[in-house]
Structure formats: structure tokens, C-alpha cells
Amino acid sequence: MVEGMEKKLKAGEVLFNEGDKGDVMYLIREGKIKITKGKGEDEKVLAVLKEGDFFGEMAIIDGSPRSAGAIAVTPVSLLVIDKETFKAKLKENPLIEYVLETLSRRLRTTDEQIKLLTIKSEERRIVAYIITKAKESGKQTDEGIEIAPFSLENLAHITGIEQEKVKGYVDKLVQANLVTLKQDKLVIKGVADLDDYLRYIALKEKFERP
């Protein structure tokens, strides 16, 4: 069990800002935290973390400033882990493996999200994200490739698009029989078909542009 102090946040409360100095990392006991770049209208959500996730580790690994901001989405309970505790736990192989694997995966995910946010078309951004998730972590089932857990709220956070618009774009994919939405799961009938649909949207936008 990792030992540390407890910290609680209210919904909307800022834990730290991009560029802040940091000497602790955090483990989420309860609630959700969003990791952001930029502020105000320029804010982009890189990830929404939940119970069991940790973050802020780079500050105690190499002493670098916070590379992004962290804001509570809901009331949050955090376990605060300082550098000494972290270094002591690094001697235990299971934790070392977990941290390094998570760091590598998170860096890859962040890179994909940054690329995603450069897509100006909201609809293409949604489809591109679904394709990426299906290829990276989708589970093959009899019905197709399953993404779980899946929520319109989380998709809205990650893509920076209003939830009602996200729902509209996903509904179009459902109507086109490209995906099915079941509670907290999204099932893609075929990634190749979604790739074709993404190209179709791009061509449609190009030739319908005023």
C-alpha cells in the first residue's frame, strides 16, 4: 500500500497550473480530474482521470515544471505522494513496472490527442478519435470492435467539443450503421468503413466549401 497525505478538492478547483513547480504526485481515491493545456477559450483537455489513476509523476522523477494543469471535474479525494515515498517504492519491482508502463502509454496517448486537437473539423475530430481508440485499445467481439468504457461526456472533454454536438455526430454514425452505442460501450462495425467515412467527410468539406 502506498502511504501519503490526503487532499480533497471541490468541483472546479485547480490543483496546479501548467508551469508550476511540483515535488509531489497524486493518486485519485475518488472523483475525476481533468488534465489541461491552455486557459479560458484556449483550454484543451488532454485527459480525464478517475479513481485509481495517478498523475504529476514527472515533477518528482526529473524535477521538471508541471507540463499541464490539473482541475477537479467532480469533488475529489487524492492521495499525495512525496519524492521520498516515491523513491522508496521504486525499489519494489511491481510499482516500477506499473509506473513506467503507464508513463509510456500516457505519452503516446497525449501525442495522439495533440494531433487530434489540430483537426479543425469537429466531425472529423470525433471520427478520428474513435478510430484511434478502436485501433489502440478496442476489444474484438462478435458484433465488432468494442470501446469500453465509453461516454459522450468524456468524448466531449477530450475533443474539446460541446456534448450536445458530440451526441449529434455519434448519432450520425449510428444512423449510418457504422457504430452502435450501448450504455457505456461503443461498438464499431468495421474500422475500414470508419476510415472510408473519415475520407468522405474530408472530401465533402473540401468540395462544399464556399
pLDDT digits (tens, 9 = 90+) for 144-182: 999 999 999 989 988 889 999 999 999 999 999 999 998
Task: Determine if the pTM surpasses 0.75.
Answer: no
Q: Which residue intervals of the chain bear CATH 2.60.120.10? A: 5-117
**Spans of the chain below 50 pLDDT:** 1
Of the candidates 71, 53, 79, the residue with the CA atom closest to the CA atom of residue 11: 71
- Looking from the CA of 82 toward its CB, the CA atoms found within 13 Å total 4
What CATH class has 5-117? mainly beta
Q: What is the DSSP string of 74-92?
A: S-EEEEEEEHHHHHHHTTS
pLDDT at 204: 83
Of the candidates 15, 141, 144, the residue with the CA atom closest to the CA atom of residue 130: 144
How many whole angstroms separate alpha carbon 58 and alpha carbon 192?
A: 37
N-term to C-term CA, the chain: 60
pLDDT at 59: 76
pLDDT at 130: 93
**Amino acid sitting at position 203:** L
What is the three-class DSSP state of 68?
A: coil
What CATH class has 122-208? mainly alpha
pLDDT digits (tens, 9 = 90+) for 53-66: 999 887 777 677 88
Q: Which residue intervals of the chain bear CATH 1.10.10.10? A: 122-208
How many whole angstroms separate alpha carbon 73 and alpha carbon 70?
A: 9
pLDDT at 110: 67
> Quick one: 130 exposed, middle or buried, by C-beta within 10 A (0-12, 13-18, 19+)?
buried
pLDDT at 10: 96
Q: Give me the torsion for CA of 173, 118, 110, 164, rounded to 10°.
A: -40
